Amino acid sequence: MTVRFGRSAVLLRALALGLAVLATPLAAGRAQEGPPPHDILNATLWMQRSVEYKANCLAAFALARIRLDQALADPKWTGAPAEQTGAYESLPPAVILDIDETVLDNSAYQVWMLKADQTFSSKTWTKFVSAQISTAMPGAVEFAKYADSKGVKVFYVSNRTADEEEPTRKNMEKLGFPMGGNVDTFLMARERPDWGSAKGTRRAHITKDYRVLLNLGDNFGDFSDAYRGSESDRLKAYEANIERWGREWIMLPNPAYGSFDTAPFMHDFKKSRAEQRKAKIDVLQGWQGP
């Protein structure tokens, strides 16, 4: 009995050791999996945590102050060349600011997408907007207040939708942005039948009564309705306005999303995430390697 029991103990120990050895690669694999990979990780990390991003934003708004003063002294100056027509020189001055990633920092939504392994959807975005937790971009409130102090009307032209306007106003009012007084300065997408995602009709609405001095945004579509074209079409439109960048048009950095991100797959959101990623990789030009 003693011998048989000893052999059984040895066999059990060997079996347990074997199972442990077999389980080790599985456990190691699970440990190495970690968070799911996501295309916007580095961009979001840079935007939310880096001093480089903050410095870029502050530089853009510092330049905007300089350009604003120059524009006020030059009656021929306009930041809406396609829409500003007629004798606009005597019209009261205004500036146009995009909202998302121009004056409001929404990186918390991007972090949620990362951790939940999700992509943008209007349903979750509206819930985020309703939470009113967006923060101000570095330098944004200060610039808007500076413009307002100079008698310049500050308009916010955003592709947030009309039903998102109220929580947006509340969020921005808490942060100290000028609200426009008795003028509706929040022009949202679909607020009127002809106000789609292209912003030209809303810029034209403003230029009827104001001389637009500057336009600030983070996406090509904040400046030109040619933003939804192919990469080559976008490049042509960019080059056609080469003298406006940094003068009447001031771009804020946004590497996380925008029309640049969707142009490689021709803005076709029916394509899978894998197809979208492949299209982006295919347009890149790189070193062939050693």
How do residues 152-211 score in pLDDT, each as one tens digit?
999 999 999 999 999 999 999 999 999 999 999 999 999 999 999 999 999 999 999 999
pLDDT digits (tens, 9 = 90+) for 40-77: 999 999 999 999 999 999 999 999 999 999 999 999 99
| Radius of gyration, alpha carbons of the chain | 26
Strand ranges of the sheet holding 186-189, from the earlier edge strand across to the other edge: 186-189, 153-161, 93-97, 211-217, 249-251
Q: Please classify residue 174 by burial: count the beta carbons closer than 10 Å to its beta carbon, then call 0-12 exposed, 13-18 middle and 19+ buried.
A: exposed
What is the set of domains in the chain, with CATH numbers?
Answer: 38-267 (3.40.50.1000)
- 210: which 2 tokens? 């104001």
Residue 92 near residue 210 (C-beta atoms within 8 A): yes
Rounded CA separation 220/241 (Å): 11
